[in-house]
Chain A
Amino acid sequence: MHELSMANSIIETVLNEAKKRNAKSVLEVNLVVGKFAMLGTEQLRYCYGLLVKGTPLEKSKLRIEGEEGRVRCEACNFEGPIHLEQEPEYHIMYPTLQCPKCGGTVEMVGGRNCFIKSVKLRA
């Protein structure tokens, strides 16, 4: 729902980097978006496309890589993918903070990020 402001932050960050390095244009932006970040990649792409017009990013390619949800359990030291539970009544899968190994409650350690991994610039 806040894809527009996120796209704006991404573009600002890249523009700063390009300026710092005297680049004339940005060819590629490689973004990592956690599957548990509340960001729709479709909307993010759309907003990005709107905002780059007239900037050195105008012709850039936005590549988005998903980051899986990862959890860690304090009790049994389990670290791995977040557990998905099946709800038979509504036929949906939902994530749970239950440890798949010991049944305790886990902390999320991955999958909520949104970061720019790298950019390709043209001098």
Chain B
Amino acid sequence: MAKLVKHDEGEVFDIELEENILKANEDAAAKNRELLRKHGIKAIDIMGSIGSGKTSLIELLVQKLKGKYRIAVFNGDLTTTIDADRVARHGVEVVQINTGKECHLDANLIAKALDGTNLDKLDLIIIENVGNLICPGEFRLGADERLVVISVTEGPYMVLKHPFIFMEADVVVINKIDLSQAMGVEFEKLRNDVNKVNAKAKVVGTSCRTGTGISEVVEALQIDNLRRQ
């Protein structure tokens, strides 16, 4: 039996802890990833600024892929089911995750959403994170690919002002390129900024209004040819 040493009343003692506060989320993310892999599901975490076109992009991806794969979409927002309702019109399973006050989704919320979903009937899960270029980057969810959406209407500084989230990205979508000229913001400039921070990220210019670039997004996410289970 271990020797027990007790402290005297009022005695001061130091405890080494090394207790990692962020690790709890990393562990939950690894569990989600394992669960998804077991069911042969590919998951994509879509992050991005407010109003950059995350939901529009998801609607187009769903339209393009729903004949090919069984898809579910998890929509994260502080409140309302506006986004979920928009996506549900396309006839795929939709789960609205309301974070209340939190500025990001976390792996625990995704675990809860996965728990209420029939994973045997899915090939692809698209997760729409809360609109925010700061916090979501820090909390991995267990997705295979992380995509960040920004748009030219947010001006030319979005990437270099928020380098951390772009360091996390596998794919970056620069949306509303049809408005590029009117905004005086060049796609090439934003693409260069992304690649300066993270040369591995694939950058695609899109217009969700016209449908430009959606095939390239599918290709960049490597979901053009998912193996059906």
Contacts and interface: CB of A to CB of B under 8 A. Distances in A.
Q: Do A and B come from one complex?
A: yes
Interface of A: 1-2, 5-6, 9-10, 13, 17, 21-23, 27, 36-38, 85, 87, 90, 92, 94-98, 105, 108, 112-123
A1 B132 contact: yes
A98 B163 CA distance: 13
B164 A38 contact: yes
A39 B196 CA distance: 24
A114 to B, nearest CB: 5
A-B residue pairs, 10 tightest by C-beta: A123-B7, A115-B20, A116-B19, A105-B200, A114-B21, A123-B11, A94-B163, A1-B103, A38-B138, A116-B17
B114 interface: no
B220 to A, nearest CB: 16
Contacts of B11: 122-123
Given A22-B7, A90-B157, A98-B199, A123 B13 contact: yes
Contact of B12 (A94, A98, A121): A121
B137 interface: yes
15 contacts: A1-B132, A2-B102, A22-B7, A23-B7, A37-B138, A90-B160, A94-B160, A94-B196, A108-B167, A114-B20, A118-B16, A120-B15, A121-B12, A122-B10, A123-B10
Contacts of A113: 20, 22-23
Contact of A97 (B9, B14, B138, B200): B200
Contacts of B103: 1-2
A6 B11 CA distance: 29
Given A38-B137, A108-B167, A122-B10, A96 B19 contact: no
B156 to A, nearest CB: 9
Given A5-B102, A38-B137, A97-B198, A87 B160 contact: yes
B185 interface: no
A9 to B, nearest CB: 5
Contacts of B24: 9
A120 B12 CA distance: 7
A38 B135 contact: yes
Nearest to B160: A94
A2 B225 CA distance: 37
A56 B103 CA distance: 29
Given A97-B198, A123-B8, A116 B21 contact: yes
A73 to B, nearest CB: 12
A37 B139 CA distance: 10
B135 A118 contact: no
Interface string B44-75: 00000000000000000000000000000000
Contacts of B157: 90
Contacts of A37: 22, 138
Interface string B1-37: 0000001111111111111111110000000000000
A97 B17 contact: no
Interface in B70-105: 102-104
A13 B17 CA distance: 10
A87 B167 CA distance: 17
